[in-house]
Copies of this chain bind each other. A is one copy, B any other.
Amino acid sequence: MTAVSDATDTILRLRAEVCALHEQLTRYQLVVWTAGNVSARVPGQDLLVIKPSGVSYDDLTPANMVVCDLQGRVVEGEHAPSSDTEAQAYVYREMPHVGGVVHTHSTYATAWAARGEAVPCVLTMGADEFGGEIPVGPFAIIGDDSIGRGIVDTLRDSRSPAVLMRNHGVFTIGPTAKAAVKAAVMCEDVARTVHISRQLGEPLAIDQQHVDALFDRYQNVYGQR
């Protein structure tokens, strides 16, 4: 095995993985039509793998995923990449620990984003996954670095892997694409439950010490070793 064929294998594996993870977006109804996407960093290569733009989830295959460099330029693939590629490439450039990025307009999270309001931490699930509130990022127009910068500026000093971009939707990050998808699923679930709770009164606060303890335990103890 040469280094070149190793790199090729890694990209092939990530094409399949990124393609398959989109099924979780439709399964949990986080996206409609073609409005949402998953990307993954290619480790050690300044590349990313992302959904093609405007292609239906039913028509996604490993082969039509697009490989771009971290400036968002296509390196491999016959399709135009997602229109969110620039934003996601910015995140990979600025946050070296990020291995996956997800974008959705999931309903409840986007409803908070339209009011520019963070989702308060009133559920143990919120403390587990987000370590506090789910923060709001700035209004930013597509087409330059401003969405990417808004994501990075908001998440850099937060424990949350999710940001609600104002009037727009959700971006989540994770060490892997799968972790970013999980954060997107959890973000919508928490945003929905807290929304519904607040419809009939005020949810009770969770003490900061408990939020810290829950976050710490979930990040370090939960799941299989």
Instruction: Report the minimal beta-carbon distance from A198 to chain B, rounded to whole angstroms.
Output: 6
Contact of A169 among B112, B122, B124, B143 (CB under 8 A): B124
Instruction: Report the minimal beta-carbon distance from A13 to chain B, rounded to whole angstroms.
Output: 19
Instruction: Report the minimal beta-carbon distance from A171 to chain B, rounded to whole angstroms.
Output: 13
- Residue on B with the closest CB to A165? B124
For the complex, is A15 an interface residue (Cβ under 8 Å from B)? Answer: no
Please, how many residues of chain A have a CB less than 8 angstroms from a CB on the other chain?
A: 61
A-B contact pairs, 19 of them (CB 8 A): A32-B185, A32-B186, A52-B224, A53-B224, A79-B224, A80-B225, A110-B197, A111-B196, A111-B197, A111-B199, A115-B200, A115-B202, A117-B201, A122-B167, A124-B168, A124-B169, A139-B204, A166-B204, A199-B199
A binding-site residues for B, Cβ under 8 Å? 28, 32-35, 52-55, 79-80, 83, 105, 107-108, 110-112, 114-117, 122-125, 139, 141-143, 166-169, 182, 185-186, 189, 192-204, 206, 210, 213-214, 217, 221-225
